A and B are shown apart, each in its own frame.
Chain A
Amino acid sequence: MSGRILDLFKPFKAFLPEVIAPQRKVPYNQKLIWTAVSLLIFLVMGQTPLYGIVSSETSDPLYWLRSMLASNRGTLMELGVTPIITSSMIFQFLQGTQLLQVDMSNKKDVELLQMAQKVCAIALTFGQAVVVVLTGNYGNPSSLGISISLILIFQLIFASFIVLLLDELLSKGYGLGSGISLFTATNIAEQIFWKAFAPTTVNMGRGTEFEGAIIALFHLLAVRKDKKRALVEAFYRQNLPNCFQVLSTVAVFLFVLYLQGFRYELPVRSTNVRGQIGTYPIKLFYTSNTPIMLQSALSSNIFLISQIMYQKFPSNPIIRMLGVWGLRPGSQGPQVALSGLAYYLQPPSSISEILLDPIKAVAYIAFVLGTCALFSKTWTEISGTSARDVAKQFKEQGLVINGKRETSAYRELKKIIPTAAAFGGASIGALAVGSDFLGTLGSGSSILLATTTIYGYYEMAAKEGGFSKNLVSGMSELM
């Protein structure tokens, strides 16, 4: 019955542009080039301003989402990868909850599913572009005029369409990995580098200061007379990125890389092909960065809804309970939640804030850790990596756990996988909280996202380029 829902998308096939899957395996070198070119196009789009904007100085309701969604304010990448992520999440959810039945072994069904996702993404793009323009993000639509508004909408749709095709190009085998995670990670990395090395300067009444933290260190050391105070200033200045943040970012990055190596290796051997012995690694980060992505998607959606609602109905008590928004006293930065539920879900901005409101800190930590563990565990069910699915996979491939009966694979896996998923999710959450407390450049979850993606790319490149096999242990190649 549900097959019919998918069939609804059949007629679109004739109209949608599609990237033709490569006929044969694309060599590693070629993949690198495709990936680099797509990335270049994406980066250029991320810097190209939209034509026809009057102003983009209004408060930014999407601020909390920006880094996660690879979007840049006022540029062609205003929407980033939002439509793609949203549409794939919708379909993942539908599939996982069995609302939409797709036979993944049937090639036609899979094709149809991809098509449906694409149609959905395009529809979402259209809707979001219209909403962004009409809500006066770039100036009041009535003062912009119809033609300019249409041009703006067209630009946004066109850019998102290109991103969609780039993502399809990469994930269909021309490139390494998926486009979405690549774009997101690049965007985050770009922001971190900008904060560390930005050549822009600010003068706020006590001399010119560099925005880039590392450049500021050199500049302050050279300019200020009191070197000790200059050093303290470079490391702890509050209003601009400081060197302590840079250091803690690097530390978090390295620590996550270190943790990526944590794995439980299940000794397995093949019964189909005797003599194939290897290990099936169950990583500590079993679900990789998915829990943190879902968690941040959840909290940013809450923020978004609460912020918009608060602006419309600032006096409604229920909405006030959800969140009261405003500028943090003494800063011109983005709007933050000042009280309400959103306040407790928002990361504390500094150590002093933790000390001032320990309840908030505890609530925040509990929320992040709990949701991450929960999401991680449910994600294994949805994505087909739960103990039962892996056991089934083992059976199909004739793998048995060394020295164990074939049927006991499920029991063994059940002992490990849910624990690994929940614990891994919680530790990812803890890392995100920890880096928020340390005050890294960018939010903790975005750094985790970038790091895990970069590590994933490294693993993939190592596997395909064959330059360092020992990072990926034996069985993953066999599978």
Chain B
Amino acid sequence: MALNYDYDEQGETWPFFLLTLLLVLLIPSTLIQFWRIIKNNDSEDEVTRKYKEINKKAGRDVVPLEELNELYTDDKIKKFRKKFDHSSKSKILNLRNLLIIIGWVIVSVLVQRISNNDAIKEAASGMFDPYELLGISTSASERDIKSAYRKLSVKFHPDKLSKDLSEKERTTMEEMYVQITKAYEALTDEAMRENFLKYGHPDGPQSTTHGIALPQFLVEGAASPLLVFAYVSLLALILPYIVSKWWSRTQSYTKKGIHVNTASYFADRLVNYKPSEVVTTNLIINWLSHAEEFQIFFPNKTPAYFEKLLLNHINRVPMDENPTDVLIKYRIVAKCHSLLYGLLDIASGFRNTDIALAALDTFKCLVQAVPHNQYSQILQLPNVNKEHFIDSTEDVYTVGKLFTFEDNKIQKMLGIEDKDQFEHTMKVASNIPVLKLLKADFIVPGEKHVTPSAMAYISVKVLVRSPKHKFIPLKKFPDETLQEPTDFDFLKDPFASMNEKPLLPYSFAPFFPSSRRNAWCCLVALQKDLKILQSPFILERLSLTNLTKDLDKRVLKELGDDFDPKDWEIGSIRIPLAQAAPPEKGDFPFRIIIKSTDYFGCDLDFTIFMHVSDMTEEEKRDESQNLLNDLDSSEDDISDDGDEDEDDSEYDSDLTDIDTDTETEESDVEDEKQNIKEDKNKPFFFQFIPSKK
């Protein structure tokens, strides 16, 4: 509108404008901040917390390792963690709170200013207020108004004024009388009252002036060049700068969060990788040490230096003489987490199984600060005397085997003198979650078996158990407990239900510079050429309730009849397949590798077959039968629930035709042997081979 705006000369209005804007921003942010401080905001989500509560009520402590982890962690690492972990940042002293406090200070200054500003008070008192003029309250009745008016008019009426008043006094009195009359009319006369309510004045609309709540000094005078300068710098300099900065940052990091140079270095290594080369964790460490990220953190150090630090970390070489080196070591080891995930992803892209597996082994080595060899499983436990243990004559390489001995023997073998320390060691050992494969299937949602070109997923049923548990034979678990649900909500998104499980607890990793949760990486490779098929699926949620069960194999010789499979929680891992099933019929072997990132000795590596077959005649007939039903039902206006139920029941009965036979064949293997084999990673080792049908 082409109107003339008056600027706020007396500072009557602009403080209000600023005050409101500030309050509108400040009140919500303050409330949110309060909520954050009150609520103990861990990285844990709702589901995990709920599980924790249930377990606490049942008297089960599923995460006993967190305490021990705290106990065994070096003070230096704790200090580093405090600095490094965002979640443990001080909740009270941070930039956000500082801004909020500054905001409230400005608010109080403004309030002070407003209450001291005379111009505002004047403006308020200059207003026409009939109630005040008549000296009555706003809720006064008509009679009160009349009596008040009468009293005042007696006092101020020009005819009744005393003669000895001066000219000036007389005019003010007369003016007062006019005002009072107007006030009285405004409250009693119909038309005037309407005018008053609508326009604030009994005479109808007054001349309007428009203003803008900006202080004059901003627009005119010395401040205006400054203001122009501020505008220009904001729009022409700061905004483009921020955008370009953000842009270059998004451009220089890959989706997995590693620097593009690092990614291209990894890719380069993978392209030039000779299959004859033996992949060891040392090779991976060498690759990691060339990461661009390390160069960015510490520009004047060489990759050789980083490699030395990483090896020092793995071999637990004491480095007390140089504190800066220690800090650098912590920083780069912590960064290895995302680097290794990045490498794993790139290796999967190149379909290189060896590199991917070596990357995961390196992951464990870095997390546990243990070199990768046949002793790693035992050496990851705390307090183990390395030399003593390696010298001992017993052939013990796995935690599971360890638990076949009596406590005294174990203590001797590991060379632990202190009783408490030994107890801690045993606690850690018995809380390492070991996966036992119960069943693995290719499943096509809504179908009885895999048909050509169908979108299948891999359903892996596992039992989470402790190394100390007695081996539970597969046949203890009836087939019904291993079925996939068949309701429509599940079929729609079979992977959603995995999110209802709690996050895996924090790992026992006292040497790793940041606190971390365990995860299992699920790799799917073709058995034909042993190459990885798709990028790894990372499992971060699984209930570990089973670890609290007391089923010590040294105490319990035979699994009694009182064993109830319902007491045990069966974990479901559903690995999505990125590709459709092959278009032709046949059996296709796949190698599935489920590897922990944190612990040695809890991996799975097995082969399953995808049986691709057409629909059988019987099924086709069923389907058309179904459709006939559908035709009838839609004509009779019956809801389709009936049909679906029928569908489901058929589905149930035929679901397991892929590997129903395997279960009978699975013999009660000694679990110790199984454990050894599981971790040796021989490429052609099948722990679980379903027979062809």
Contacts and interface: CB of A to CB of B under 8 A. Distances in A.
Interface string A275-291: 11111000000000000
B5 interface: yes
Contacts of A225: 124, 129, 132
Give the residue among B5, B127, B138, B644 with the most A Cβ atoms within 10 A. B127
B615 to A, nearest CB: 9
Interface stretch (B79-87, B202-210, B416-424, B518-526): B202-210
Contacts of A274: 444, 446-447, 451, 453-455
A197 B643 CA distance: 58
A204 B200 contact: yes
Interface stretch (A81-89, A399-407, A419-427): A399-407
B453 A474 contact: no
Contacts of B456: 275
A57 interface: yes
Interface string B483-503: 000001001110000000000
A275 B24 CA distance: 50
B240 to A, nearest CB: 11
A214 interface: yes
Interface stretch (A156-164, A172-180, A216-224, A317-325): A216-224
B147 interface: no
Interface in B121-147: 123-124, 126-129, 131-132, 138
Contacts of A33: 243, 247
Contacts of B213: 199-201, 210, 215
B405 interface: no
A272 B631 CA distance: 22
Contacts of A277: 445-446, 488, 491-492
Contacts of A206: 127-128, 199-201, 206
A228 interface: yes
Interface string B1-34: 0100100100011101101110110000000000
B250 interface: yes
A295 to B, nearest CB: 29
Contact of A402 (B114, B214, B488): B488
A403 B640 contact: yes
B490 to A, nearest CB: 10
B457 to A, nearest CB: 8
A80 interface: no
Nearest to B124: A223
A269 interface: yes
Nearest to B127: A207
B19 A402 contact: no
A116 B444 CA distance: 48
A202 B209 CA distance: 6
A124 to B, nearest CB: 27
Interface string B205-248: 11111111110000000000000000000000000000100010
Given A215-B20, A223-B123, A276 B492 contact: no
Contacts of A349: none
Contacts of B17: 199, 210, 212, 215
A10 to B, nearest CB: 40
A199 B19 CA distance: 11
Contacts of B644: 402-403
Given A276-B455, A405-B627, A229 B138 contact: yes
Interface residues of A, number: 54
B647 interface: yes
A357 interface: no
A275 B630 contact: no
A283 to B, nearest CB: 18
A171 B211 CA distance: 41
B1 to A, nearest CB: 8
B179 interface: no
A203 B211 contact: yes
Interface residues of B, number: 65
Contacts of B634: 404, 408, 411-412
A474 B444 contact: no
Contacts of B129: 225
A200 B213 CA distance: 6
B198 interface: yes
B493 A403 contact: no
A48 interface: no
Given A275-B445, A403-B640, A218 B20 contact: yes
A97 interface: no
Contact of B212 (A197, A199, A226, A408): A199
Contact of B16 (A219, A224, A269, A276): A219
Contact of B198 (A57, A229, A330): A330
B327 interface: no
B15 to A, nearest CB: 9
Contacts of B488: 267, 277, 402
B455 A275 contact: yes
Contacts of B23: 218
B199 A207 contact: no
Contacts of B153: none
A55 B2 contact: yes
Contacts of A29: 247, 250
Contacts of A403: 626, 630, 640, 643-644, 647
A74 interface: yes
Nearest to B213: A199
B123 A207 contact: yes
B105 interface: no
Contacts of A219: 13, 16, 20
B198 A239 contact: yes
A208 B200 contact: no
Nearest to B200: A206
Nearest to A412: B634
Interface string A325-343: 0000010000000000000
A404 B640 contact: yes
Interface string B309-352: 00000000000000000000000000000000000000000000
B120 interface: yes
B145 to A, nearest CB: 16
Give the residue among A56, A330, A411 with the most B Cβ atoms within 10 A. A330
A11 interface: no
Contacts of A402: 446, 488, 644
A180 B189 CA distance: 53
Contact of A204 (B2, B12, B19, B199): B199
Interface string A387-425: 000000000000000111100100110000000000000
A238 interface: yes
Nearest to B488: A267
Given A202-B210, A408-B630, A275 B447 contact: yes
A389 to B, nearest CB: 21
B2 A57 contact: yes
A273 interface: yes
A229 B137 CA distance: 12
A226 B138 CA distance: 9
A27 B630 CA distance: 45
B631 A405 contact: yes
A33 B627 CA distance: 51
A205 interface: yes
Contacts of A269: 446
B304 interface: no
B559 interface: no
B580 interface: yes
Contact of B19 (A202, A218, A330, A404): A218
Top 4 nearest A-B pairs (CB, nearest first) are A205-B206, A206-B200, A274-B454, A275-B444
21 contacts: A199-B214, A200-B5, A201-B8, A201-B210, A201-B211, A201-B213, A203-B211, A204-B199, A204-B200, A205-B205, A205-B207, A206-B128, A208-B12, A215-B17, A215-B21, A219-B13, A267-B488, A272-B453, A273-B453, A274-B444, A275-B446
Given A202-B208, A205-B201, 9 more contacts: A205-B207, A223-B120, A269-B446, A274-B451, A274-B453, A275-B444, A275-B456, A277-B446, A279-B492
